[in-house]
Amino acid sequence: MKYQIPLNRRRFLYGTSIALAIPTFESLSKGNTEAEQGPRRLVCVGNHLGFYPGNFFPEEDGKDYLPTSTLKPLEAHRADMTVLSHLDHQLNGGHKAVQGFLTGIKKEEASGFPTKNMSLDQAAAEHVGSDTRFPSITTGITNGTDMCWTRSGVHIPPVNNPAKLFQGLFIQASASSRETQRTRLKYRASILDALQESASALNRTLNAADQNKLDQYLTSVRDVERQLQMSNQWIDRPKPESPIEEIPDEERQQVDEVELFYELMALALQTDSTRVTTLETGLGFRTSELDLESYHALSHHGKAENRIEQLQVVESFLTTKLSNFITRLKEADIFDRTLIVFGSGMSDGSIHSNRDLPVLLAGGGLGHQGHIICPEDQHERIPLCNLWLSVLNWFGSDSERFGRSTGTFSLMDIA
């Protein structure tokens, strides 16, 4: 199959090696301006236990592939998605390496990288800044996959209660609560000021190695400062009205939670409360809708046919929920400006493999290719971080590197 690499402004600059600022050429622009079309949005969905490769990857490449059991629930959206084979981060470690799905770097190896093990969603959130109430919203079912990480290498735990997420999105805090929050922010800011002054004085007495450690610490301080500024800006702004009834704070079956989180994520994007959101399906995921044994136990299928058949049921359940979410975004007329990343930092859970990761892209107005089989040869393999870098560039970021990227992903139109 032949792929055409589109000419965009970024690729033009790289090709000419020009480092000067030049005007945007209208002949290289695509469609209307962002102001006319609306902002771009990013959704990342990760499943801790991966997807059985035989259930996930089609055998054929291109747009006319025969759908696997995991992809069948997404058939209505075939023209709007791309499945990618033979992409990974060259990481090992089984469950521990799953945390590198959106980062390409394990936490233990992050110290040598300028942005540590920052995840794709947080890099996009930095680009959004304070344009929305929430730079990003992370959600999760049961224990998360440790999928989201800040620039300073701090894990962001997911919100795992739909009622709390609903309140954060739509329930306006009382005047007294807002004043308490403002006071708390001022107090935290004063502590940060004192830490900055002490650190600056200390810096003059440290050797090079310790100065580097201090710089990493100050980076995390600056991250907190930026969050404080964003919070201050939004304290008194009214929240949007919810088009659905308030969600009571009570225990729910996890089938309800999956639907609710997807619904709340769609509403958060539709009301522009955020432009970056994630959903993590954790290690202990269970649902009463499926009469199955432990999902974790099923992932250790040992190639037993009955367990693989049950995995088909679970994985089809997860892609059915994704399909419903895509339909919801299409109905809200924001799908073409929303790029969905769906997959896992693990492929075959039975052998704890972190190679040939299941990855699917949907939406974003891309030139979708159906199924792209990337080079499998070790010397030609494409790092998954190349795809993440292209996603960031699509989102609007000028980043030239991400994680272990060696360039952008050139096998599909992702401009």
**CATH number of the domain to which 128 belongs:** 3.40.720.10
- Inter-CA distances, 165 with 158, 251, 269, 289, Å: 10, 14, 13, 23
Q: How confident is the model at residue 389 (pLDDT cuts 50, 70, 90)?
A: very high
Final residue in a domain of this structure, among 183, 208, 237: 237
Residues 136 and 264 in one domain: yes
Question: 6-10, 36-40, 406-410: lowest mean pLDDT where?
Answer: 6-10
- CA Rg value for the chain: 22
Beta-sheet pairing, 338-343 with 41-47: parallel
Identify whether 403 is part of a domain: no
Q: What is the 3-state secondary structure (H, E, C) of 42-110?
A: EEEEEECCCCCHHHHCCCCCECCCCCCCCCHHHHHHHHHEEEEECCECCCCCHHHHHHHCCCCCCHHHH
- The 10s digit of each residue's pLDDT in 22-81 is 232 232 234 445 555 789 999 999 999 999 999 999 999 999 999 999 999 999 999 999
Residues 340 and 268 in one domain: yes
241 close to 191: Cβ distance less than 8 angstroms: no
**Residues 347-360, mean pLDDT to the nearest whole number:** 92
Identify whether 400 is part of a domain: no
Which among 367, 394, 282, 360 has a CA at the least distance from the CA of 58? 360
The three-state secondary structure class of 223 is helix
- The 10s digit of each residue's pLDDT in 149-181 is 999 888 999 988 888 888 888 877 666 665 665
> Exposed e or buried b for every residue in 105-122, given b needs 16+ CB within 10 A?
bbbeebeebebbbbbbbb
Residues 119 and 231 in one domain: no
User: Is this prediction's pTM over 0.85?
Assistant: no
Residues 131 and 219 in one domain: no
- Inter-CA distances, 305 with 52, 212, 309, 310, 356, Å: 12, 53, 6, 9, 22
Residues 84 and 214 in one domain: no
Residue 239 has what pLDDT?
Answer: 79
Query: For residue 148, what are the domain limits?
Result: 32-164+246-395
168 close to 247: Cβ distance less than 8 angstroms: no
Residue 224 has what pLDDT?
Answer: 54
**Whole-angstrom Cα distance, residue 144 to residue 48?**
8
Identify whether 211 is part of a domain: yes
| Total tally of structural domains belonging to the chain | 2
**Residues 357-367, mean pLDDT to the nearest whole number:** 96
Q: How confident is the model at residue 189 (pLDDT cuts 50, 70, 90)?
A: low
Identify whether 188 is part of a domain: yes
User: What is the maximum span of the chain, computed from C-alpha positions, in angstroms?
Assistant: 65
Identify whether 196 is part of a domain: yes
Residues 308 and 289 in one domain: yes
Q: Burial-class residue 297 by CB neighbours within 10 Å (0-12, 13-18, 19+).
A: exposed
Is residue 197's pLDDT more than 80?
no
Residues 289 and 212 in one domain: no
Final residue in a domain of this structure, among 220, 237, 254: 237
Residues 326 and 385 in one domain: yes
- The 10s digit of each residue's pLDDT in 250-287 is 545 454 688 889 999 999 999 999 999 999 987 777 66
Residues 183 and 332 in one domain: no
Work out the angle at residue 62's Cα, subtended by the Cα atoms of residues 60 and 63, and round it to the nearest 5 degrees.
110
Identify whether 12 is part of a domain: no
**Whole-angstrom Cα distance, residue 145 to residue 96?**
9
Is residue 11's pLDDT more than 90?
no
Q: What percentage of the chain has pLDDT greater than the value 70?
A: 71
Final residue in a domain of this structure, among 215, 237, 259: 237
Which among 374, 287, 390, 291 has a CA at the least distance from the CA of 341? 390
**Whole-angstrom Cα distance, residue 216 to residue 254?**
39
Residues 143 and 68 in one domain: yes
Residues 215 and 266 in one domain: no
Identify whether 76 is part of a domain: yes
**Whole-angstrom Cα distance, residue 95 to residue 147?**
12
| Tokens matching residue 176 | 């007294």
The three-state secondary structure class of 388 is helix
Residues 206 and 281 in one domain: no
Is residue 351's pLDDT more than 80?
yes
Identify whether 412 is part of a domain: no
| Tokens matching residue 45 | 């969905």
